[in-house]
Amino acid sequence: MALATLFGEAHLFGAKPNTPESGNIHPHTAKASHLKPRAKNVIFLFMAGGPSQLELFDHKPELNKYDGQQVPSEVIEGFDLPFIERDAALMASPVSYTRHGECGAEISEMLPHLGSVADELAIVKSVQTDAFNHAPAQIFLHTGHLQLGKPSIGSWVTYGLGSDSRDLPAYVVLGQTAVSGGSSCFNCGFLPTVHQGVPFRSQGAPVLFVENPAGVDDQLQRDTLNTIRRINSERLRTVHDPEIAARISAYEMSFRLQTSAPELMELSQESAQTLAMYGADPVQPSFAGQCLLARRLVERGVRFVEVSLSGWDHHSDVVGSVRKISQKVDQACAALVKDLKQRGLLDDTLVIWGGEFGRTPMVENNPALGRRRGRDHHPNAFAMWLAGGGIRAGTTIGKTDDMGYQVVEDPVHIHDLQATVLHLLGMDHEQLTYSYQGRDFRLTDVGGQVVSKLLA
């Protein structure tokens, strides 16, 4: 019996829509519309903790004027501040900004490398979200909902588009997966488990359980799998359950994953030049190495790669701390964009950089918490950037008020961002739905508008 015909073998890791997924009792039909896709893959550089837009992208020279003054109460009226007091003082940023590239994008001194790819970027200085605590905001960024149990954006994308990889999961998460929002950030919610974000380690065996147990060599593993197949096949001939066929091919694919995974992780295969461009060490795990790995995954057909980096929650010494983490991030992010471009992958690959919220223009000083010259969580206006995959390169959109507190031009809500990402992948965010518990759910809940200014 031709097993592959019994089950869409090639897509076991990221079942294509309209493939009847065995045993799934929920209706499972992606309603991807007929938009022309601009991107095929996504690399989401998730900066967990809330990077300070004021030290990175949102240049506010006017803030110098107000430095040390109490924030006007009308500015913050109706908004919540988790840690700081309502009479907190505004704090100017001592960071200098330079214009980069032909587009003249303003990027701070913290990100010199990123400046070198400014003409590839679309910087959004007016992102808004609905939550001001880490876990809810991270879950909102990923799932579009504050309520729990909804699928992550990576799951939605693989649900809508399936995967081109035979050997690898469709949605891979690299880096620090132990984020505030926990596994809910990468969870498939009510979508079938095949759409779950699969965490990859950046060293050694990438996937959980991918290594043979002690004493089991490849020959024994192969012999075991052959014998399992022999016995399962006999049972299939007796009971005719297609699930057995699916299991047989799943076991075969697990072996392929076991053999292909080590090769995938071999960063030493990359040229010295490439490694140097990222600042990656082929042996020591690093954010740079993960960015490089993200490219290798995309090359191998993985649909959605997320690189997660914690450490952006700068309640204290915001300037020093942003400087420190930027040194870890800047070169690798710029290298990723360049590398994708050089290899002709940037057109098909959408790169997104950002965190769950930004930081207040007001200072956070709190002796009891040991905090000095930090910034608090700020959901009203923060910055992200996108590149590749149908993005209008060399643009900056969105404007905030003099204090950087409120958006005054081109607000981009998280739902708008999500709608735009789906749009670039050829999906209408209102049509990509999944019926669960009596309701058609979508990533963008009941909101979201494609941000046309971001489209090429």
Minimum CB distance to other proteins smaller for 21 or for 164: 21
Number of neighbouring beta carbons within 10 Å of residue 421: 27
Short-list 314, 315, 316, 336, CA closest to 325: 314
The first and second tokens of residue 169, run together, are: 């999961």
Residue 139 CB, shortest distance to other proteins, in Å, is 9
Minimum CB distance to other proteins smaller for 307 or for 386: 307
Residue 370 CB, shortest distance to other proteins, in Å, is 11
Residue 83 CB, shortest distance to other proteins, in Å, is 5
Residue 161 CB, shortest distance to other proteins, in Å, is 18
The first and second tokens of residue 428, run together, are: 């209408």
Distance CA 140, CA 456 (A): 27
Minimum CB distance to other proteins smaller for 28 or for 341: 28
The first and second tokens of residue 246, run together, are: 């699916």
Minimum CB distance to other proteins smaller for 12 or for 425: 12
First-to-final CA distance of the chain: 48
> Nearest 5°: phi and psi at 15?
-50, 130
Residue 218 CB, shortest distance to other proteins, in Å, is 12
Residue 177 CB, shortest distance to other proteins, in Å, is 8
Short-list 305, 284, 415, 402, CA closest to 349: 305
Burial class of 321 by CB neighbour count within 10 A (0 to 12, 13 to 18, 19+):
buried
Minimum CB distance to other proteins smaller for 257 or for 292: 257
Give the count of alpha carbons within 13 A of 101, CB side only. 19
Q: Which DSSP helix (H) or strand (E) runs through 306?
A: strand 304-309
Minimum CB distance to other proteins smaller for 99 or for 240: 240
42 touches 215 (CB < 8 A): no
Distance of CA 206 to the CA centre of its chain: 18
Burial class of 90 by CB neighbour count within 10 A (0 to 12, 13 to 18, 19+):
buried
Q: Which DSSP helix (H) or strand (E) runs through 140?
A: helix 134-143
Minimum CB distance to other proteins smaller for 98 or for 183: 183
Q: Which DSSP helix (H) or strand (E) runs through 409?
A: strand 407-409
Residue 367 CB, shortest distance to other proteins, in Å, is 6
Number of neighbouring beta carbons within 10 Å of residue 411: 18
| Residue given tokens 């908004």 in the structure block | 79
The first and second tokens of residue 350, run together, are: 């959408």
Residue 78 CB, shortest distance to other proteins, in Å, is 8
Minimum CB distance to other proteins smaller for 216 or for 283: 216
Minimum CB distance to other proteins smaller for 199 or for 404: 199
Residue 2 CB, shortest distance to other proteins, in Å, is 15
| Residue given tokens 């963008």 in the structure block | 444
